[in-house]
Amino acid sequence: MRHVDFTPLYRTTIGFDRLASLLDNVLAAETAQGGYPPYNIEKTGEDAYRITVAVAGFSEDELSVETRDGQLTISGRKVEDEQERGRTFLHRGIAARAFEKRFQLADHVRAVGARIENGLLHVDLVREVPEALKPRRIEIVSDAPRKAAIRHDAPAAEEAQAVPSDAAPAEAPAQA
């Protein structure tokens, strides 16, 4: 049995005690269940995930997939049928014991479907962030008037445009 002591984390972090508690719970659950049944978690798209659980020997009627309070629970209970009661097994390597697997879902992740295929249960998950919570870009505007740029050659330009005092003023155009 492996046990990790997270007490130092509790002392050195403020506000992260839930994270340490979750890690502690995950390790305790894995140890208690002994890793049965084995499972994979894969990312199938940008916001799509799939949990695949090996459930050989279970029918879809013997399996349950539920979500409650941000937690996905997959459980299986083998129902002994009439054919199995009369059998004597010399070796029983195919596990048929009851199980329950729990997965903590992140915010806005929900299960959208489950199917059983070749002894594997596939549970598809999707992350859908509401529009109100998605990041959006806000344009920055200024109500202050724009200031003219200061040019270093401004005095030279003013001298070139200045009219000499001895020059005659330009005539105004005649009005018709």
Cβ atoms within 10 Å, residue 33: 13
Q: What is the CATH number of the domain that holds 74?
A: 2.60.40.790
Whether residue 169 is contained in a domain is answered as no
Number of domains in the chain: 2
Quick one: 53 and 83 in the same domain?
A: yes
pLDDT tens digits, 116-125: 999 999 999 9
Q: Are residues 51 and 82 in the same domain?
A: yes
Look at residue 18 and tell me if it is in a domain: yes
Beta bridge pairs of residue 63 = 76
CB atoms within 10 A of CB 102: 13
Q: Are 3 and 56 members of one domain? A: no
pTM of the entire structure? Answer: 0.58
Of 113, 133, 153, which residue constitutes the final position of a domain? 133
Q: Between vectors from CA 61 to CA 47 and to CA 43, what angle results, nearest 5°?
A: 15
Cβ neighbours of residue 137 under 8 Å, at least 6 residues apart? none
> Are 101 and 74 contacting, i.e. CB atoms less than 8 angstroms apart?
yes
Choose between 172 and 57: higher pLDDT.
Answer: 57
Confirm whether 139 is domain-assigned. Answer: no
Which pLDDT score is estimated for 133? Answer: 80
The pLDDT tens digits of the residues spanning 59-90 come to 999 999 999 999 999 999 988 776 677 788 89
User: Phi/psi class of residue 120: alpha, beta or left (left: φ > 0; alpha: ψ in -120 to 50)?
Assistant: beta
Q: Which domain holds residue 93?
A: 35-133
Residues 62 and 122 in one domain: yes
- Taking the C-alpha atoms of residue 103 and residue 71, their distance in angstroms, rounded to an integer, is 6
Residues 160-171 have pLDDT tens digits of 555 555 555 555
Same domain as 42, residue 118 = yes
User: Identity (one letter) of the amino acid at 130?
Assistant: P
